[in-house]
């Protein structure tokens, strides 16, 4: 097939064997790549109910049919597995040269299965695979590990690395690339750690697969130029995602003190204007036309790469109002391989639990020094507190109880990204129905919502959430390119359809692919959870119960009944029944009849 390599590399660490497999063309057409390919493989290959941290779990690294070709931001990959944080389907999207090298090595994806008995790292050079001892790397932070591996392999490789958090199976450990790209929020770093894999180093030296149409390069270059000509391009280069701090403050959605409030008194000390002033350099993923990694110097004069989510979660959400302090915490998270969103949420939850007397010797709001100590403790799992918080907010609150579940900000076990939803029902629905738990990546509907009727609980809003989910989760996560050229500077989606057609020779069936992938992920969750409750698709209790206590939207909170009506509309539009379970007719329409047997064992399917 054109555009895809059509091949998968499988490495079994228990047996020490590796082999190459051809990918079925119909799977590539129907699931495309990235998340689509990952969930298909996980559904087919993982037995129900496995321990995500056991050798039975499989770690999937998947590129897509545009990866590496010229064109806007084609240097990303999806990393996926059964999540140890949520117990459901988990994935993340990382910008890394590993994506391009994987394709140049001749693969669209690789699967790591089994587990090694000792620490190792994996070196892939085209078809050659070496599993090498990593005893001298185990325990090192991700930056030092990268330096050591670069001294062996040089700069012309891609690397995916875990830190101490992944080694110690912290449930929200991520995988880190390029000292500042971090992905796999639902614990993909812990899955890698459970296999005792410290790093994956990939070098590909072959040409990329032949595209169907040689015009692909020309279209890609034209798309790059079109992106650079956009009105917002210059401002984006100066502030990137960090400008969202000021926007979120204005819109009263900046998470503050564990999502109690939507505004922070010191927002201007940590916002995009401050980042622009402090910026020392900018970094990017491969093939990026609009670099967004804003690097500043932190308290220790070290480099730290910032994005909006890092700043909000390690700043306003825990009461830290100083950019250098935030940057310091962010660098520690990158070095340890911890997700900054879950870390900031967990620290915020612990600060509130300390305030309420539920945790002794905990943390005070705004105390960045103590937050740094606890961050290291979580990564190294040294004390009882570190071990408690390493479970994430769902696990920690269910362990200590005392009402702390009521301020644990998660959906399905994944901590909420940095948007307060007391007055944003559409965004609350987007979090609650995201296929990996409360991540904003599938539908960042909030910018549209605050500009339209933000207080409405309307069917239009539901349809907007689905439209965005299908484009973001159903296209950008399956073709695996960065969505920011489209979201942030308004690059037209048509460029992507043209590149896909030129690469593969096929017209993209966006609706079909997106609905298929969303419904298969839903089936995966139901099979694992052994049934389904609407509660799983409901946002955290705080947004319904504890109104905002100050600011222009003082008194705002979500309406439970109106939210449930939106959820019903959502299910209807997806072809799922009123419990949130795909109907048989939907499964058949999407070519997913093959899940009916497994699903029927755990829940009655309706027509
Ligand atoms: C993403 C999530 C985000 S989303 C941010 S900031 W953002 C946080 N970044 C972290 C970090 O940094 N260090 C750390 N230790 N933990 C972090 N956790 C958080 O992870 C990221 C960019 C960003 S920056 C965004 S919005 C876009 N996300 C995309 C996406 O999800 N899909 C896609 N097709 N394109 C995207 N483009 C943008 O990529 P996760 P990255 Mg990350 C320091 O991976 O698990 O999806 O979580 O991937 O290469 O760093 O790029 O304001
Ligand atoms: Fe990576 Fe940012 Fe460029 Fe997207 S815009 S490819 S996240 S550097």
Percent of the chain with pLDDT over 70: 100
- Ligand 1 neighbours (beta carbon < 6 A): 76, 92-95, 174, 180-185, 241, 285, 305, 307-310, 333-334, 338-341, 441, 476-477, 482-484
CA–CA separation, 339 and 5 (whole Å): 32
**365 and 475 assigned to the same domain:** no
Strands 414-415 and 410-411: antiparallel
Ligand (nearest to CA of 75): 2
Q: Which of 502, 345, 476, 441 is nearest to 64 (CA)?
A: 476
The residue out of 147, 176, 203 marking a domain boundary is 203
Q: What is the number of structural domains in the chain?
A: 3
CA 583-589-591 angle, 5° bins: 105
Q: Which residues of 77-107 are buried (b: 16+ CB within 10 A; e: fewer)?
A: bbbbbbbbbbbbbbbbbbbbbbbbbbbbbbb
User: Is residue 120 within a helix (H) or strand (E), and if so which, with residue range?
Assistant: strand 120-125
- Identify which of 361, 356, 412, 369 has the alpha carbon closest to the alpha carbon of residue 389: 361
Which positions ≥6 away from 464 have C-beta within 8 Å? 426, 445, 448, 449
CATH number at residue 412: 1.10.569.10
Q: Do residues 434 and 413 both lie within one domain?
A: no
Ligand closest to the CA atom of residue 481: 1
Token output for 517: 């992938």
User: Domain with 562 in it: what CATH number?
Assistant: 1.10.599.10
Separation of alpha carbons 19 and 11, rounded Å: 7
Locate all alpha helices (DSSP H) within 291-439, ordered by sequence: 308-314, 323-336, 340-355, 368-380, 384-389, 392-400, 425-433
Assign 196 a pLDDT band (cuts: 50, 70, 90).
very high
Are residues 283 and 411 both part of a single domain? yes
CA distances from 316 to 97, 246, 336 (A): 32, 12, 22
Q: Say if residue 114's pLDDT is above 90.
A: yes
| Stretch 223-232: mean pLDDT | 97
Structure tokens at 178: 């390029």
Does residue 221 belong to any structural domain of this protein?
no
Q: What is the pLDDT of residues 87-101, one digit of tens each?
A: 999 999 999 999 999
CA distance 515 to 574: 7
Q: How far is it, in rounded angstroms, from Cα 489 to Cα 263?
A: 26
| pLDDT for res 393 | 98
Q: Is 225 a domain residue?
A: no
Ligand 2 centroid to Cα of residue 485, in Å, is 8
pLDDT tops 90 at residue 425: yes
Cα of 460 to ligand 2 centre, how many Å? Answer: 30
- Nearest ligand 2 atom to the CA of 283 is 8
- Flag whether 503 is in a domain: no
Name the one residue in this structure whose structure tokens are 């994944």: 414
3-state secondary structure 1-37: CCCCCCEEEEEECCCCEEEEEECCHHHHHHHCCHHHH
Starting from the CA of residue 90, give the closest ligand.
1
Chain centroid offset of residue 353 CA: 27
Euclidean distance between CA atoms 574 and 80, whole angstroms: 23
Query: Residue 170's domain spans which residues?
Result: 7-203
- Indicate whether 462 belongs to any domain: yes
Measured CA to CA, the distance from residue 140 to residue 138 in angstroms comes to 6
Burial 173-212 (b: 16+ CB within 10 A, else e): bbbbbbbbbbbbbbbbbbbbbbbbbbbbbbbbeeebbebb
Q: Does residue 105 belong to any structural domain of this protein? A: yes
pLDDT tens digits for 40-49?
999 999 999 9
Ligand 2 binding site (Cβ under 6 Å of any ligand atom): 73, 95, 284-285, 288, 290-293, 482, 484
> Is residue 218 in a domain?
no
Smallest Cα–Cα separation from 114: which of 56, 61, 60?
56
Token match 């609407």: residue?
534
> Quick one: which ligand is closest to 282's CA?
2
CA distance 252 to 374: 29
292 Cα nearest atom in ligand 2:
2
Enumerate the β-bridge partners of residue 131. Answer: 122
| 356 and 460 within one domain | no
Any idea what the CATH number is for the domain that residue 154 is in? 3.60.9.10
Q: How confident is the model at residue 1 (pLDDT cuts 50, 70, 90)?
A: confident
Selection from 239, 404, 238, 395 nearest residue 307 by Cα: 239
Size of the chain, expressed as the number of residues it contains: 607
pLDDT band at residue 234 under the 50/70/90 scheme: very high
Q: Which of 418, 440, 472 is the last residue of a domain?
A: 418
Q: Are residues 190 and 320 in the same domain?
A: no
Tens of pLDDT, residue by residue over 5-39, are: 999 999 999 999 999 999 999 999 999 999 999 99
- Asked whether 72 and 101 are in contact (CB, 8 A), the reply is no
The span from the CA of 42 to the CA of 45, in Å, is 5
CA of 484 to the centre of ligand 2 (A): 7
Residue with the nearest Cα to atom 23 of ligand 1?
A: 307
Tell me: the pLDDT tens digits for 264-309? Answer: 999 999 999 999 999 999 999 999 999 999 999 999 999 999 999 9
Q: What spacing in Å lies between the alpha carbon of 207 and ligand 2's midpoint?
A: 24
Same-domain pairing of 172 and 294: no
Residue 232 lies in a domain: no
Residues 61 and 159 in one domain: yes
Is 481 within 8 Å of 286 (Cβ atoms)?
no
Q: Cα of 96 to ligand 2 centre, how many Å? A: 10
Pairing of strands 120-125, 197-203: parallel
Residue 246 sits in the same domain as residue 120: no
CA of 333 to the centre of ligand 1 (A): 13
In a domain, 309, yes or no: yes
Count the Cβ atoms, other than its own, within 10 Å of residue 468. 19
Model pLDDT, residue 261: 98
Structure tokens at 272: 């995009």
> What's the average model confidence in pLDDT over 360-388?
97
Is beta strand 89-95 parallel, antiparallel or unpaired with respect to 76-82?
A: antiparallel
Ligand nearest to the CA of 174: 1
Mutate to test the pocket of ligand 2, among 285, 286, 440, 480 (most ligand atoms within 8 A of CB): 285
Residue nearest to atom 44 of ligand 1 (CA): 183
Which of 379, 395, 418 is the last residue before a domain boundary? 418
Whether the pTM exceeds 0.85: the reply is: yes
Give residue-wise pLDDT tens across range 445-483. Answer: 999 999 999 999 999 999 999 999 999 999 999 999 999
Q: Rounded to whole angstroms, how far apart are CA atoms 259 and 232?
A: 30
**31 with 153, same domain?**
yes
Which DSSP string do the residues of 137-163 spell out, in sequence order?
TTT--HHHHHHHHHHHH-SSSEEEE--
pLDDT score of 179 = 95
Q: State whether 514 and 566 are in the same domain.
A: yes
Ligand 2 mutation pick, 78, 291, 440, max ligand atoms within 8 A of CB: 291
Do 402 and 437 share a structural domain? no
406 and 437 share a domain? no
């Amino acid at each position: 097939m054109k555009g895809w390599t059509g091949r998968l590399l499988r490495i079994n660490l228990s047996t020490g064997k590796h082999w190459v497999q051809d990918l079925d063309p119909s799977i590539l057409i129907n699931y495309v790549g990235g998340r689509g390919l990952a969930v298909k493989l996980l559904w087919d290959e993982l037995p129900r109910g496995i321990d995500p941290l056991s050798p039975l779990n499989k770690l999937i690294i998947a590129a897509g049919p545009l990866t590496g070709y010229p064109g806007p931001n084609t240097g990303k990959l999806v990393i996926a597995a059964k999540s140890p944080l949520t117990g459901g389907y988990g994935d993340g999207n990382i910008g890394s040269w590993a994506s391009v090298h994987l394709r140049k090595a001749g693969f669209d994806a690789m699967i790591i299965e089994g587990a090694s008995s000792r620490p190792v790292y994996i070196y892939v050079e085209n078809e050659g695979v070496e599993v090498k001892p990593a005893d001298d790397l185990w325990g090192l932070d991700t930056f030092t590990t990268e330096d050591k591996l670069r001294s062996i392999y040089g700069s012309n490789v891609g690397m995916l690395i875990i830190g101490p958090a992944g080694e110690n199976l912290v449930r929200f450990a991520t995988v880190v690339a390029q000292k500042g790209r971090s992905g796999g929020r639902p614990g993909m770093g812990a899955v890698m750690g459970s296999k005792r894999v410290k790093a994956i180093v990939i070098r590909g030296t072959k040409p990329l697969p032949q595209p169907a149409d040689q015009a692909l390069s020309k279209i890609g270059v034209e798309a790059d130029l079109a992106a650079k000509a956009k009105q917002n391009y210059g401002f984006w280069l100066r502030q990137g995602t960090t400008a969202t701090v000021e926007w979120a403050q204005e819109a009263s959605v900046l998470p503050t003190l564990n999502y109690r409030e939507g505004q922070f008194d010191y927002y201007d000390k940590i916002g995009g204007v401050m980042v622009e002033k402090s910026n020392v350099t900018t970094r990017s993923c491969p093939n990026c036309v609009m670099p967004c990694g804003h690097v500043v110097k932190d308290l220790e004069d070290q480099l730290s790469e910032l994005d909006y989510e890092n700043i909000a979660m390690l700043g306003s959400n825990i009461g830290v109002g100083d950019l250098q302090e935030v940057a310091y915490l962010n660098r520690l998270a990158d070095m340890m391989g911890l997700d900054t969103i879950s870390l900031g949420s967990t620290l915020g939850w612990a600060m509130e639990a300390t305030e309420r007397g539920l945790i002794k010797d905990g943390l005070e709001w705004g105390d960045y020094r103590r937050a740094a100590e606890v961050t290291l403790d979580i990564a190294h799992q040294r004390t009882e507190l570190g071990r408690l918080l390493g479970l994430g907010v769902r696990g920690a609150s269910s362990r200590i109880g005392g009402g702390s579940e009521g301020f644990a900000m998660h959906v399905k076990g994944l901590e909420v990204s940095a948007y307060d939803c007391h007055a944003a029902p559409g965004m609350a629905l987007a979090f609650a129905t995201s296929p990996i738990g409360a991540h904003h990546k599938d539908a960042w509907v909030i910018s549209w919502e605050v500009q339209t009727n933000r207080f409405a609980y309307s069917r239009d809003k539901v349809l907007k959430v689905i439209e965005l989910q299908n484009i973001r989760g159903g296209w950008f996560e399956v073709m695996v390119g960065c969505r920011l050229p489209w979201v942030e500077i308004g690059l037209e989606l048509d460029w992507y359809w043209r590149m896909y057609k030129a690469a593969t020779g096929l017209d993209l069936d966006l609706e079909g692919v997106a609905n298929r992938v969303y419904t298969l992920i839903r089936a995966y969750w139901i099979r694992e959870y052994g049934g389904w409750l609407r509660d799983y698709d409901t946002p955290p209790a705080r947004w319904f119960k504890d109104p905002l206590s100050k600011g222009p939207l003082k008194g705002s909170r979500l309406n439970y009944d109106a939210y449930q009506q939106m959820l019903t509309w959502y299910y209807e539009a997806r072809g799922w029944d009123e419990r949130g379970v795909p109907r048989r007719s939907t499964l058949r329409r999407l070519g997913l009849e093959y899940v009916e047997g497994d699903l029927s064992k755990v829940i009655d399917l309706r027509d």
